[in-house]
């Protein structure tokens, strides 16, 4: 569809669409309504803004002068304090890496204190390590008991095997 512009009775030009059902003059009446509505809104906004600009004859009461203290000036030394926000870093910073894992029971140094090489810094809960040692001791005792039993079996079966009282297979199958 093609658009055309037509002059209206108000002097505004309004677009119409050729072939569009308009009034007999060939322009859209809704355009006149929109321009009238915008003009009316402008007038209302101007009136409302001018109402707030009127002069006001409200006189404020004069405030009393403030009360102030007068002090004699004395010349003397005043201490100067400085406060700074900073992060301090040591000259030599050591990275502490644990050699074992566990729960810490005690810290054997004070924060910021000097420490020496091989100094014990923490005490770790010994119970998990003691349990591992006890388990290893139990396995050693079990292996020693098995060795003792096997030695007794060999001492018992060797003379019988020489006399062919037991089969050679039985002797090999025993643990």
Entry pTM: 0.37
Confidence (pLDDT) at 132: 95
Better-scored residue on pLDDT, 156 or 174: 156
111: tokens are 């924060």
Dmax of the chain from CA atoms? 143
What percentage of the chain has pLDDT greater than the value 90? 26
Closest CA to 9 of 43, 42, 36: 36
Highest mean pLDDT among 113-117, 127-131, 164-168: 127-131
As given in the structure block, the two tokens for residue 54 are: 């009127």
Q: Can you tell me the mean pLDDT for 152-174?
A: 75
Task: Assign residue 18 a region (left: φ > 0; alpha: ψ between -120 and 50; beta: otherwise).
Answer: beta
Average pLDDT of the chain, as a whole number: 77
């Amino acid at each position: 569809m093609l658009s055309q512009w037509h002059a209206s009775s108000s002097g505004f030009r309004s677009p119409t669409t050729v072939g569009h059902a308009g009034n007999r003059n060939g322009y859209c009446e809704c355009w006149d309504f929109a321009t009238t509505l915008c003009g009316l809104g402008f007038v209302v906004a101007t009136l409302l803004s001018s109402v707030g600009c009127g002069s006001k004859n409200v006189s404020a009461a004069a405030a009393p002068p403030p009360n102030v203290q007068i002090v004699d000036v004395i010349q003397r030394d005043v201490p100067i304090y400085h406060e700074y926000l900073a992060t301090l870093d040591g000259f030599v910073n050591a990275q502490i890496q644990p050699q074992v894992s566990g729960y810490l029971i005690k810290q054997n140094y004070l924060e910021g204190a000097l420490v020496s090489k091989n100094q014990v810094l923490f005490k770790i809960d010994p119970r998990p390590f003691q349990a591992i040692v006890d388990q290893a001791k139990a396995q050693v005792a079990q292996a020693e008991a098995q060795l003792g039993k096997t030695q007794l079996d060999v001492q018992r079966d060797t003379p019988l095997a020489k006399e062919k009282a037991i089969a050679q297979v039985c002797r090999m199958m025993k643990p």
